[in-house]
Amino acid sequence: MSLRIVVCVKYVPDATGDRHFAEDLTVDRDDVDGLLSELDEYAVEQALQIKEAADDAEITVLTVGPEDASDALRKALSMGADKGVHVEDDDLHGTDALGTSLVLAKAIEKTGYDLVVCGMASTDGTMGVLPALLAERLGVPQVTQLSEVSVEGGVVTGRRDGDTASEQLEASLPAVISVTDQSGEARYPSFKGIMAAKKKPVESLDLEDLEIEADEVGLEGAWTAVDEAAERPARTAGTVVKDEGEGAKQLAEFLAGQKFI
Amino acid sequence: MAEVLVYVDHVDGAVRKPTLELLTLARRIGEPVAVHLGANAEEAAKVLGEHGAVKVLAADAPEFAEYLVAPKVDALQAAYDAVSPAAVLLPSSAEGKEIGARLAVRIGSGIITDAVDLEAGDEGPVATQSVFAASFTTKSRVSKGTPVITVKPNSAAPEAAPAAGTVEQLAVTVADSSKGTKIVSRTPRQSTGRPELTEAAIVVSGGRGVNGAENFPVIEALADSLGAAVGASRAAVDAGWYPHTNQVGQTGKSVSPQLYIAAGISGAIQHRAGMQTSKTIVAINKDAEAPIFDLVDYGVVGDLFDVVPALTEEVKTRKG
Ligand SMILES: Cc1cc2nc3c(=O)[nH]c(=O)nc-3n(C[C@H](O)[C@H](O)[C@@H](O)COP(=O)(O)OP(=O)(O)OC[C@H]3O[C@@H](n4cnc5c(N)ncnc54)[C@H](O)[C@@H]3O)c2cc1C
Ligand SMILES: Cc1cc2nc3c(=O)[nH]c(=O)nc-3n(C[C@H](O)[C@H](O)[C@H](O)COP(=O)(O)OP(=O)(O)OC[C@H]3O[C@@H](n4cnc5c(N)ncnc54)[C@H](O)[C@@H]3O)c2cc1C
């Protein structure tokens, strides 16, 4: 029986670009180049490794986002995923974490799954809560923040490196997992992979397909509201000295002046 | 006055500092009721009471340690049902966020994560977030349901405020569906004796410029002279020079100390995401063009192997 893996991938504004907000205080996605969230590359990589270790498995990559988000799917497909699902609908603009988890959960149920793989956090929202929200909505175990993961005989095991302890975890499938950037470098798409990705199927779904009402998502339906967004004032230029033997003394003088010593 | 649930982060009853900060923030929006899960609630209650908790709802069950997150959500939900609070506050740890998230789904509420400040507003608590690698500051609120908000460490100075802190037992039934993820084994992290990274008032971090695990004692010596925690860039961690638990940045710890010293760190956006809100920033780097210098209050262009040991000596001498 085939192992059905769904990887959730997010299309995010490039962190090295000049990210900002639009007038309605949602993320401005038009003015900045987008890409597959780098942390989701680790999720795709682990899904590929799980597939390689399984007898028979199929990987679907799933994204919720505007038209351009198909770029994130293509990247994941060129790394080796088998097919894509793109949930796209104008009414999704401004959806928050609870809304996103609702849409993802419905799309995952529609696609069918044994294992859902997520990144540890997106590089824009950086909340790190989506996997837990999904597990709660789907009513399956969450095995999150894994630096090591394997799937065998319908059981997922992994290591979670927490603040105070490192834990070995275990759950039966179906389950939602998330993997950290410690789980292993993601592979680069090969030229062959990039060419193959162009032919891989991508299914497009809208809210109607998922039986979600427009007012359950989007800016109006959001459970949270952003009232203000202000650019942080640039730090006033500090003092920079060149060390010509006195650097440590000068720095100590500064630290003493600030009462740190 | 409305009650506010505060989820207690503790190690066997020793309450961690971020929880005291939560109590301080909670008092701005109502009367804090602490939720203590696990052992030694009586011991924790003393500290929680001194910091304004009018009540401590306590529950202990083996399931909290045997399964991941979900049993604690059952307990927090029981507390929520008992109190009908105006808001639920949790620390912004991986676990705190996940517990908050699942509770939010269950009670039909919105969630805000990584707040750095909190105040009362006309339409409920207003959270300040520092987003996009701290380049923007936003003010948000939960518009549906009871606000669930997770707060970053160092967001407020804990204030003493004597309150009853009466311990009440909370009846918790852990659902079978919450026993999905077994914790098979747990290896506690060894303490270095240094302050906890996210809570420290001073952090000294080393990067690729430290050039080897064998050189990290240079960074540690400076940290020890200042009573600081030690951090590292991802480049240093990936090279195996320092443990991942000490990584500062987007995928490591986010720190907001009074003083942050970066030695041999270039200042990539993902590193800045974890330290940009530090009050005072100092860098030592031999490349005058390194982007970290755009952030500093004081920078030294020089070889860290000259500057850092000499600074350690200066600090020791001045401290006598
Ligand atoms: C700066 C900023 C702050 C925000 N703060 C809040 C807030 O406090 N509360 C709130 O409710 N919303 C908030 N949002 C909105 C929220 O981030 C998004 O609505 C949403 O996509 C979910 O959060 P995340 O991407 O941060 O998820 P995370 O939990 O950080 O992402 C974890 C994983 O979930 C998967 N995933 C996330 N989004 C998608 C997607 N669209 N498609 C496919 N997979 C996905 C990926 O596998 C990802 O690695 C914020 C957004 C931004 C940009
Ligand atoms: C998704 C993602 C997440 C990431 N998360 C993080 C994160 O959480 N934390 C993080 O730090 N990075 C993170 N990174 C990596 C980040 O992009 C940088 O690669 C990293 O921060 C570089 O570390 P560095 O500054 O130590 O090394 P480099 O950029 O190589 O800089 C080393 C610096 O040391 C200086 N130097 C060398 N020798 C000396 C000397 N003898 N004396 C003084 N100065 C010297 C050099 O001039 C140089 O500026 C992430 C990247 C990605 C893609």
Each residue's pLDDT tens digit, B88-133: 999 999 999 999 999 999 999 999 999 999 999 999 999 999 999 8
Mutate to test the pocket of ligand 2, among B222, B244, B271, B284 (most ligand atoms within 8 A of CB): B271
Query: In chain B, which ranges are E strands?
Result: 3-7, 10-11, 14-15, 31-37, 55-59, 87-91, 111-119, 126-131, 136-142, 148-151, 166-169, 182-188, 202-206, 229-232, 259-263, 280-285, 298-301
Judged by CB atoms within 8 Å, which residues 188-217 of A form the interface with B? none
Q: Quick one: pLDDT at residue B56?
A: 98
The set of residues, in sequence order, having a beta carbon less than 8 Å from that of A259 and lying 6+ positions away, is none
Q: How far is B55 from chain A (nearest CA, A)?
A: 27
Pairing mode, if any, of strands A11-13 and A34-36?
antiparallel
Measured in whole angstroms, how far is the alpha carbon of residue B278 from the centre of its chain?
Answer: 14
| CB of A63 closer than 6 angstroms to any ligand 1 atom | yes
Distance CA A70, CA A76 (A): 10
Please, what are the domains in chain B?
3-178 (3.40.50.620), 202-319 (3.40.50.1220)
Question: What average pLDDT is seen over chain A?
Answer: 96
| CA separation for the pair B298, B302 (Å, rounded) | 13
Model pLDDT, residue A1? 66
Q: Which residue has the tokens 């908050």?
A: B100
Predicted local distance difference test score (pLDDT) of residue B59: 98
Segment A233-258, tens digit of pLDDT: 888 889 999 999 999 999 999 999 99
- Of the candidate ranges A138-142, B137-141, B191-195, B294-298, the one whose mean pLDDT is the lowest: B191-195
The model's confidence at residue A215, banded by pLDDT at 50, 70 and 90, is: very high
pLDDT band at A17 (very low <50, low <70, confident <90, very high): confident
The confidence score (pLDDT) of residue B14 equals 96
Q: Does B102 touch chain A (CB under 8 A)?
A: yes
B319: contact with A, CB 8 A cutoff:
yes
A101, A103, A127: residue to mutate for ligand 1 pocket, most atoms within 8 A of CB: A127
Alpha carbon of B212 to ligand 2 centroid (Å): 14
Instruction: Give residue ranges with CB within 6 A of ligand 2.
Output: A 38-39, 123, 181; B 207-209, 233-236, 247-252, 264-266, 268, 270-271, 274, 284-287, 290, 303-305
Hey, what are A239's tokens? 């003092």
The whole-number average pLDDT for the span A207-214 is: 98
Question: How far, in Å, is the centroid of ligand 2 from the Cα of B233?
Answer: 6
The structural domains of chain A, with segments of one domain joined by +, span 3-216
pTM, rounded to two decimals: 0.96
| Closest in B11, B98, B202 to A132, CB measured | B98
Q: What angle do CA B105, B23, B41 make, to 5 degrees?
A: 85
Amino acid B285: pLDDT: 98
pLDDT in tens, A148-202: 999 999 999 999 998 889 999 999 999 999 999 999 999 999 999 999 999 999 9
Pairing, β B182-188 against β A155-161: unpaired
Average pLDDT, chain B: 96
Average pLDDT over residues A11-15: 93
Q: Who's near B123: CB < 8 A, 6+ residues apart? A: B141, B143
Contact residues for B42 (Cβ-Cβ < 8 A; gap 6+): B13, B167
pLDDT digits (tens, 9 = 90+) for B238-254: 999 999 999 999 999 99
Beta carbon of A66 within 6 Å of any ligand 1 atom = no
pLDDT of residue A177: 98
Judged by a CB distance cut-off of 8 A, whether residue B128 touches chain A is no
Q: What's the gap in Å between B74 CA and the centre of ligand 1?
A: 24
Query: Whose atoms come closest to the Cα of B231: which ligand?
Result: 2
Mean pLDDT of the region B32-53:
98
DSSP letters for A146-183 = EEEEEEETTEEEEEEE-SSEEEEEEEESSEEEEE-TTS
Report the distance separating Cα A248 and Cα B307, nearest Å.
5
A3-216: what fold?
Answer: Rossmann fold (3.40.50)
- ∠ at Cα B12 (B8, B16), nearest 5°? 45
Q: Does A23 touch chain B (CB under 8 A)?
A: no
Q: What are A65-120's pLDDT values in tens digits? A: 999 999 999 999 999 999 999 999 999 999 999 999 999 999 999 999 999 999 99
pLDDT at B310 over 90: yes
Which residue has the least CA distance to atom 52 on ligand 2?
A: B270
Distance between first and last Cα of chain A = 66
Mutate to test the interface with A, among B76, B105, B151, B185 (most CBs of A within 10 A): B105
Q: State yes or no: pLDDT of A218 exceeds 80.
A: yes
**Cα dihedral angle (B258, B259, B260, B263), rounded to 10 degrees?**
-170
B239 touches A at CB < 8 Å = no
A168 strand-pairing partners: A159, B185
Q: What is the spatial distance between Cα B107 and Cα B124, in angstroms, rounded to a whole number?
A: 17
Is any ligand 1 atom within 6 A of the Cβ of residue A225?
A: no
- Asked if residue A230 lies in contact with residue B137, where contact means CB atoms within 8 angstroms, the answer is yes
Return d(Cα B3, Cα B54) in angstroms, integer: 9
Give yes or no for residue A41 having a pLDDT over 90: yes
Task: Tell me what pLDDT residue B252 has.
Answer: 95
- The sign of the torsion formed by the CA atoms of B192, B194, B200, B203 equals negative
Q: Is B294 on the interface with A (CB under 8 A)?
A: yes
